[in-house]
Amino acid sequence: MPSLERPSLERVARIGASFAVLALLAWLVPTDNYLEVLSRADWLLAFASVALLLPEQMIKARLFWLTARLQNLAFSYRKMLAIQFATGFYGLIVPGQVGAVAARWYKLQKPGRQRVEAAAVIGLNRLLETATGVIIGLTLALADPLVQQHVPILLFLAAALVACGLAIAAFVRPKGRELLKMLERGLPAWRLFRPWRQLRPAVGEAVGRFSRMRREQLAKLLFWSLLWHAIGILIVVLAARAVGSDVGWTTLGWMRSFLAIALLLPISWAGIGLREVGFVALLAPYGVPAATAVAIGLLGSLRLVVIAAIGGLVEALLPRRTRPDPALAPSPRAGRAATMPAAEPGTERS
């Protein structure tokens, strides 16, 4: 069936792309070279960089928990943390970004079949994650004298920031729903756009809930998003120090943001291969040997494998039934207004 063959071909293509990049990497950088670097690594620092995935994933789960409550999705924080790890599992076993996004959407919409609201939660979190990452990356890049000589990098980050800012404004500003109506009026009367016209009222309601956010709620989301990125930069710095690289944290910080945006493209398997090549290319002007750069990227890929392993255990051991957050009343209708209870994570039952 065509509907099944196409995704299969895409998965095969992404796996093939990752292995092709890894083969090219092995040809350019002999395997023995970066294995030797890893054998001489400071494994205490390497372990610390991997262990920080726990607070990193906890903060990411908190962000999704807060935005889900804005859409009246009935989840406890513990359940959201389980979903966070499970998403990492599916993101690794299903190539590209599609597997992780689809798994998260499926799990978020289960309690009340609130499909549009679940998609809105994922969309806003992705925009916040990307926008705050770009702000950090652009700020750190401007502080790096070597980057100031590479205008394309600055232009890339600036363009990404503008795009994210406009998209977030459509989510959180009251005029977001007016923009949706304008887009609908501009679409041709083709059958292709009929599903959008059917979903547009529910989409408008979901966007409206975000536009009614209070400033303190938005500030809380920005704070946790910035903290999540700060831990991510610390993870990269520890990985670099573990393999003997003394590149500054500001340089590693903007590189992390640059690669995070590049890896959003669904052209590889969980970024494996592209991450390592990216570090080789970006760290070369700083005098970092290719084998050391590959080792930094491999430690990053190892962290994803550990997250996926924890997620697999969560999927295997925890019950499949979703228990709603008692502080929220699940709404079966997409148009119902959202509430934002004041309870904090850890005070509710899973």
Q: Could you report the per-residue pLDDT of 206-236, keeping only the tens digit for each?
A: 777 887 888 899 899 999 999 999 999 999 9
CB 307: neighbour CB atoms within 10 A? 22
Q: Is there a domain that residue 123 lies in?
A: yes
In a domain, 133, yes or no: yes
Which residue shows structure tokens 């004298």? 145
CB 271 within 8 A of CB 137: no
Consecutive H or E run containing 322? none
337 is a domain residue? no
Residue 158 included in any domain: yes
92-101, 301-310, 325-334: segment of lowest average pLDDT: 325-334
At residue 59 the predicted structure's pLDDT band, cuts being 50, 70 and 90, is very high
Is 6 a residue whose pLDDT tops 70? no
The DSSP line for 209-273 is: HHHT--HHHHHHHHHHHHHHHHHHHHHHHHHHHHTT----HHHHHHHHHHHHHHTTSSSSSTTTT
CA–CA dist 54, 86 (Å, integer): 14
Q: Which of 129-138, 166-175, 193-202 has the least mean pLDDT?
A: 193-202
Instruction: Give how many domains the chain has, as a whole number.
Output: 1
Intra-chain end-to-end CA distance of the chain, in Å: 40
Tell which wins on pLDDT, 272 or 63.
63
pLDDT at 330 over 60: no
Report which of 305, 272, 322 is spatially closest to residue 19, judged by C-alpha positions.
272
Find the mean pLDDT for residues 311-337. 59
Mean pLDDT rounded to a whole number for the chain:
78
Instruction: Tell me, yes or no, if the pTM score tops 0.85.
Output: no
The confidence score (pLDDT) of residue 332 equals: 44
In a domain, 302, yes or no: yes
CA pair distance 97, 91, nearest whole angstrom: 6
Q: Is residue 349 part of a domain?
A: no
Least confident of 44-58, 204-218, 304-318, 329-343: 329-343
Q: DSSP letters along 116-184, please?
A: HHHHHHHHHHHHHHHHHHHHHHHHHHHT-TTGGG-HHHHHHHHHHHHHHHHHHHHHHSTTHHHHHHHHH
Answer yes or no: is 328 within a domain.
no
Residue at token pair 């119902």 = 336
Residue 304's H or E segment, with its range, is helix 290-317
Percent of the chain at pLDDT > 90 equals 31
Contact indicator for 92, 149 with CB cutoff of 8 Å: no
pLDDT over 90 at 331, yes or no:
no
Cα 101 from Cα 120, distance rounded (Å):
12
Question: Does residue 264 sit within a domain?
Answer: yes
Torsion sign over Cα 229, 231, 235, 238: positive
pLDDT band of 320, cuts 50, 70, 90? low
**Confidence at residue 176, expressed as pLDDT on a 0 to 100 scale:** 59
As a whole number of angstroms, the distance between CA 107 and CA 113 comes to: 10
pLDDT of residue 45: 95
Residue 286 per-residue DSSP state: G
Got the DSSP string for 21-41? HHHHHHHHS-HHHHHHHHHTS
For residue 66, the model assigns a pLDDT of 94
- Is residue 52's pLDDT more than 70? yes
Cα–Cα dist 296/289, whole Å: 11
Alpha carbon of 11 to those of 96, 99, 275: distances in Å? 7, 10, 18
Domain that holds residue 289: 44-317
The mean pLDDT value for 265-287 works out to 79
DSSP secondary structure letter of residue 323: P
